[in-house]
């Protein structure tokens, strides 16, 4: 595991943890146990402290991303319009839980607090495309297009 330029840019300060996590995730696509170990050694903080920081922020992931990222909005408008139903349906369809990646590496599934499309609720984002006024049937059709 290599964190780009880490040894040159960081001096083991506590406020370096988040930038180090961001650099590592940018380089590898996720935060691996090896990454947590390396950051722990650089910052002189325990691995559990590093993991605690990383798990607090939704920007960090602990599994490799899929080729296609699915984000289901669970903001207030999407929640009221069935966001959790869409999350459950996507999970059943793909055979994974939120935060996981399919065995074949095709998809990863994440819940997000808000995608900023409240007037179009409920919404699902696949890669960079936003799908509005989603239903379970439409979600299945869309996922089929990515296979």
Q: What is the DSSP secondary-structure string of 63-91?
A: SPPPSEEEEEE-SHHHHHTTHHHHHHHHH
pLDDT tens, position by position, 80-96: 999 999 999 999 999 99
Helix (H) or strand (E) holding 92: helix 83-94
Q: For domain 6-56, give the CATH number.
A: 1.10.10.1590
pLDDT at 57: 84
Look-up: residue for tokens 């966001």? 83
**DSSP secondary structure code for residue 120 in this structure:** G
pLDDT at 147: 74
User: 68 exposed, middle or buried (CB, 10 Å; 0-12, 13-18, 19+)?
Assistant: middle
pLDDT tens, position by position, 56-79: 887 898 989 999 999 999 999 999
Regions of the chain short of the pLDDT cut 70:
1-15
In the chain, where are the structural domains located? 6-56, 68-145
Q: Global pTM?
A: 0.74
**CATH fold label, 68-145:** Glutaredoxin (3.40.30)
């Amino acid at each position: 595991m290599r964190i780009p330029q880490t040894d040159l840019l960081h001096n083991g300060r506590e406020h370096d943890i988040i930038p180090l996590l961001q650099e590592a995730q940018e380089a590898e696509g996720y935060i691996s146990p090896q990454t947590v170990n390396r950051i722990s050694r650089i910052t002189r903080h325990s691995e559990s402290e590093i993991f605690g920081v990383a798990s607090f922020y939704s920007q960090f992931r602990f599994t490799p991303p899929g080729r296609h990222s699915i984000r289901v909005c669970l903001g207030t408008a999407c929640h009221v319009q069935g966001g959790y139903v869409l999350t459950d349906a996507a999970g059943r369809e793909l055979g994974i839980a939120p935060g996981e990646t399919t065995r074949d590496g095709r998809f990863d599934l994440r819940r997000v607090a808000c995608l900023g499309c409240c007037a179009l609720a409920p919404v699902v984002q696949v890669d960079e495309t936003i799908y509005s006024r989603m239903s379970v049937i439409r979600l299945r059709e869309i996922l089929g297009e990515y296979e």
